[in-house]
A = this chain, B = another copy of it.
């Protein structure tokens, strides 16, 4: 398994945009992020460049502007983040986490029902 780069919170926002649509120009990313953040364009450019350095993004020159695309899939990213979180907080135990969430009554009745459906569906599929 190759080393997955560390992706910070701010960088993650950029990845989400690019996972949502790619390839994209830096400007498209900037426009998207202006909707939910108050980051200046230069800030987004910095984040993009760092992600390129980390090999989380690749690009190809298209004339003046570059087109960026992800080098790691969203699922890979999620996996890495999830493992880091589980390791830090729940000793890597998914069950411990679930037990905790359920104990803390994080789920509404409806969510529990939905969860049950998902589980049953999952049982079906495997």
Interface residues, chain A, with chain B CB atoms under 8 Å away = 9, 12, 75, 78-79, 81-82, 85, 88-89, 94-95, 97-107, 109, 111-112, 114-116, 118-119, 122-123, 126
- Residue in B75, B82, B98, B126 whose beta carbon sits within 8 Å of that of A118 in the complex: B98
On whether A89 and B82 interact (CB within 8 A), knowing A75-B104, A107-B122, the answer reads yes
A115 touching B119, Cβ below 8 Å: yes
B79 touching A107, Cβ below 8 Å: no
B94 touching A88, Cβ below 8 Å: no
B116 touching A119, Cβ below 8 Å: yes
- With a cutoff of 8 Å between Cβ atoms, the chain B residues found around residue A123 in the complex are 109, 112
Closest-CB distance, A117 to chain B (whole angstroms): 10
